[in-house]
Amino acid sequence: MKRVALYAAALGFVVFAGFPFYWMLITSFKQNRDLYVGASDTSHIPWIFNDPPTLEHVKLLFGQTDFPRWVLNTLVVVVAVVVITVAVAVPAGYSLARLAGRWGERLGMGIFFTYLIPPTLLFVPFSRLVSLLGLQDSLGALILIYPTITIPFCTWLVMGFLRSVPWDIEEQAMIDGYSRLAVILKVAPRLIVPGILTVVVFTFTLVLQEFVYALTFISSVDKMTVSLGVPIALVRGDVYHWGALMAAALFTSIPLAIVYNAFMDRFIQGFTMGAVKG
């Protein structure tokens, strides 16, 4: 009886969480005449393939839309933002965890709190800044602004990560005659690799997900990122190409889902800030 309740609850959650993805999947490969049957016709079951699946929407998406271009734009922004974030946040996190002493904790908390200031509060002043710098409608605007989200969170992540790494190795190196600087340059990088990996992954997922700033700064279709282009520019006029739209959503979700599944626990440690002892 208890088992039955457990499985029923698990099934319920899986259906609620997964149903939109099933819907993306089935829409992506359905023929149009199977897709566009009004829901008032109860004899036509929309949950299954009534006609054989088709690749027509996928071909449309990759062949006749700007989707490949958006993927490329997204990758350009990802690489640039990852480089900036790692270069800025990793040393800062190390400094807060190892060098700043008593102040480290408070400064780190202060930097983390800026992560709570949302894009929807900042997009108005940023739109002014971006046009002053002449960056409107360019990927440069996104590369400049996205680190405002990634740097606070990643500085915090690296700091938290380093506090769980024992000091011993670095101390031993200093006893062996390394200067503090030599430790930072030669010993610390090896210790910090898993932390850097988390930073890279977080930055990657964030850039893929960001919508507000992209919507504010980018207006040309060929400059868009995936998360902006798909909902905004794949819809031409009043004609929704639902098959292609859902295929785009599906193909973007898959890599993110895999990455999240692997890294979720690390992110959560960052969010719970010691409210949970790991």
Assess 240 for contact with other proteins (CB under 8 A): yes
Assess 194 for contact with other proteins (CB under 8 A): no
Assess 205 for contact with other proteins (CB under 8 A): yes
Among 64, 164, 172, 209, binds other proteins (CB under 8 A): 209
Among 176, 180, 197, 222, binds other proteins (CB under 8 A): 180
DSSP class per residue in the chain: -HHHHHHHHHHHHHHHHHHHHHHHHHHHTS-HHHH---TT-TTS-TTS-SS---SHHHHHHHHHSSHHHHHHHHHHHHHHHHHHHHHHHHHHHHIIIIISTHHHHHHHHHHHHGGGS-HHHHHHHHHHHHHHTT-TTSHHHHHHHTHHHHHHHHHHHHHHHHHTS-SHHHHHHHHTT--HHHIIIIIHHHHHHHHHHHHHHHHHHHHHH--HHHHHH--SGGG--HHHHHHHHSSBTTB--HHHHHHHHHHHHHHHHHHHHHHHHHHHHHHHTTSS--
Among 53, 55, 64, 99, binds other proteins (CB under 8 A): 99
Least spacing, CB of residue 26 vs other proteins, in Å: 9
Candidates 50-58, 62-70, 85-93, 194-202: pick the segment binding other proteins (CB under 8 A): 85-93
Q: 152 or 195, CB closer to other proteins?
A: 152
Assess 4 for contact with other proteins (CB under 8 A): no
Longest CA pairwise span in the chain (Å): 80
Least spacing, CB of residue 12 vs other proteins, in Å: 9
Least spacing, CB of residue 205 vs other proteins, in Å: 7
Among 65, 73, 95, 203, binds other proteins (CB under 8 A): 95
Least spacing, CB of residue 63 vs other proteins, in Å: 20
Assess 245 for contact with other proteins (CB under 8 A): yes
Among 78, 151, 224, 247, binds other proteins (CB under 8 A): 151
Assess 94 for contact with other proteins (CB under 8 A): yes
Candidates 55-63, 165-173, 190-198, 207-215: pick the segment binding other proteins (CB under 8 A): 207-215
Least spacing, CB of residue 34 vs other proteins, in Å: 11
Assess 76 for contact with other proteins (CB under 8 A): no
How many residues bind other proteins, per CB under 8 A? 108
Assess 72 for contact with other proteins (CB under 8 A): no
DSSP class per residue in 62-119: HHHSSHHHHHHHHHHHHHHHHHHHHHHHHHHHHIIIIISTHHHHHHHHHHHHGGGS-H
Q: Which amino acid is at 20?
A: P
